[in-house]
Structure 1
Amino acid sequence: MDARRKIRILHTSDIHLDNDIGSGAQRSAAQIGLESIVDAAIDQSVDLVLLAGDLFDHNRIKKPCLSFVDEQFSRLECPLVMISGNHDCLADYSIYTSYDPEKASSHITFLREEEGAVCFFEDLGLTVWGRGIVEHHPGHKPLSNVPVNNVDGWYIGLTHGYCVERELQSFSSLITPEEIISSEFDYLALGHVHVFSVMNHGVTTAVYPGSPNSNLGVNEMSAALVELDPERGVAVSKYELSPRPF
């Protein structure tokens, strides 16, 4: 019997919060971005939120920013699975050595194992494998050693890196089409590139959601709204985010 059911996912990445934290009209573009993601997750009644790295712009984050993240995460009404990116990597100096986002809410799952980790949502019939960045360098291959999924249901990947058509030795955290094909994910949630794009390789739909931070050069706020349907497969649309009035 097919364990898959219809699922709605909001996929985001590259929020790049820093220590520029204000209120009302003084909110930063990154603050507005995270608020908008949480608002969209609630408004769209999604079953899951995926955050594919770079929640923070660097690892020198101070308490006001961390408190803001906790406040926003606590508003979520569905699970959120997150990983680190190259800006908030899990090196020895990482902000995540002293800050645990899982303490903000029971909804939060932070996959921090260096070789990747799996979490399973039985009620959704869905498995998520995620691998963040410890060190961003050419030797880091985000999709190396992806485990075979032995559980019935949807198989979702979550990682942070740069998709290229061929190996480029001078680039860090590279992902190739061949690696995506070999993963056999139903959906691969990517972070690192700030422009929305959809790629299909083998059975896998791989997506960069863009960024909810309008101050990253693209001058737009976007996420990916994903619908998983056992009969129709994977459907992805670009979701235009709107700032919350203050």
Structure 2
Amino acid sequence: MGKKKIRLVHTSDVHLGVDWRADLSERAFSRVIESVGLLEADALLVVGDVFDHARVPDRVLEFYLEQIGRLQCPVVTLPGNHDLYHEDSLYLREPFLDAPPNFCLFEDWAGQTISLPELGLDLWGRAMSQHTPEFSPLAGMPKAAQGHWQVALAHGHFHFPEDRDQRSSPIWPEEVADAPCDYLALGHWERHVEVSQRDTVAFYSGSPLGASPDDEHISVNLAELDPETGVNVRQVFLSLDDDPGVHPINASEIAAGGVR
């Protein structure tokens, strides 16, 4: 059987529980959840730093899980450097014992595959236990299963050729070029950036608000995986308006001031 055509919404760095503008970050994530339906996506990828720090109260964890529970599709979460996965991780606290069935979490430090056979999709990622130069977010990625799309999630710093200082959780251009995945969904940067190398399509989504030009909109990546046309990724902006009928708008419209 051939690959299916699927759509993925990709976000990262939501930083729920942040001390500054906490209400706005929650509104933004609620709108990310609504974008999944508006964009007719098959799954939501949240690529690290869902939470701002390990001390966020249970109410914030419950908010995240309540939002996920609004969706029928899988929500795949990768821990990042602000919400590390270790023996004291916030992902092991009581609220996550009652997580909705569509919540999927990468828990293996060496890397693991979360398979969604109904979509013909395998997702791979490494849970981050320490944010150090020794942690390699792409190390150990397996080859894709025959007939399946493979999407990798990685939270770390992509090193451009002109970079001089090695950063923690480094992602090197040659690693991206050699990655055996169809799409590499990245987190750690607040802005939307493409870092594709050779045949590997790779993008940072940026945070919902940080990748948007103002506080009246959010930004997400929409990745369309089509067996005929390949992998196509575009940045989509949506109004923060609570009206669920608001449709996606173009970045050019925002820049021109034509949409409010």
Q: How far does the alpha carbon of each residue in 1:148-179 deviate from its partner, in whole angstroms, 9 at most, with x for none?
A: 22332211001100111347554100101111
Opposite residue 172 of structure 2, the aligned amino acid is T
Paired residues, number: 241
Q: Any conservation in 2 of the 1:194–1:218 contact (CA below 8 Å)?
A: no
**What is residue 68 of structure 1 aligned with on the other side?**
63
Distance 2:212 2:5 in 1: 33
Give unmatched runs, 5+ long, in structure 1. Answer: none
Match of 2:119 in 1: 124
Q: Is residue 2:205 matched to residue 1:206?
A: no
**In the alignment, structure 1 residue 18 sits paired with structure 2 residue 14:** no
Question: TM-score with structure 1 length normalisation?
Answer: 0.89
AA in 2 matched with 1:209: S
Residue 46 of structure 2: which of 24, 46, 51 is its match?
51
1:231 is matched with 228
1:87 and 2:86 aligned: no
Deviation per residue, 1:38-82 (Å, 9 max, x gap): 010122221011110010000001122122112111101211111
In the alignment, is residue 34 of structure 1 matched against residue 33 of structure 2?
no
Q: CA deviation at 1:16?
A: 0.1
Contact 1:55 1:84 in 2 (8 A): yes
SS across alignment from 1:141: coil
1:12 Cα shift? 0.5
- Is 1:240 paired with 2:215? no
Moved over 6 A (4+): 215-218
Identity %: 34
Match of 1:182 in 2: 178
Q: Is the 8 Å Cα contact of residues 141 and 180 (structure 2) preserved in structure 1?
A: no
Q: Contact between 1:186 and 1:205, CA under 8 Å: does it hold in 2?
A: yes
Distance 2:212 2:107 in 1: 26
Q: Decide which moves more: 85-94 or 128-137.
A: 85-94
CA apart distance, 1:216: 10
Alignment partners' CA distance in 2, 1:68 and 1:39: 15
The aligned amino acid for 2:192 is F
Q: How far apart, in 2, do the equivalents of 1:14 and 1:86 lie? A: 10
Q: TM-score, normalised on structure 2? A: 0.85
Aligned residue type for 2:4: R
Distance of 1:13 and 1:20 partners within structure 2? 18
1:196 to 184, 192, 195: 192
Amino acid at match of 2:14: I
Name the residue aligned to 2:144.
Answer: 149
- Runs of 5+ in structure 2 lacking a partner? 244-260
In 1, the alpha carbon distance for the partners of 2:78 and 2:164 equals 24
Q: Assess if the C-alpha contact under 8 Å between 1:142 and 1:160 holds in 2.
A: yes
Report the alpha carbon displacement of residue 218 of structure 1 after superposing the two structures with TM. 7.4
Aligned residue for 1:8, secondary structure, equals strand
Distance 2:81 2:211 in 1: 18
**Distance in 2 (alpha carbons) for counterparts of 1:148 and 1:218:** 40
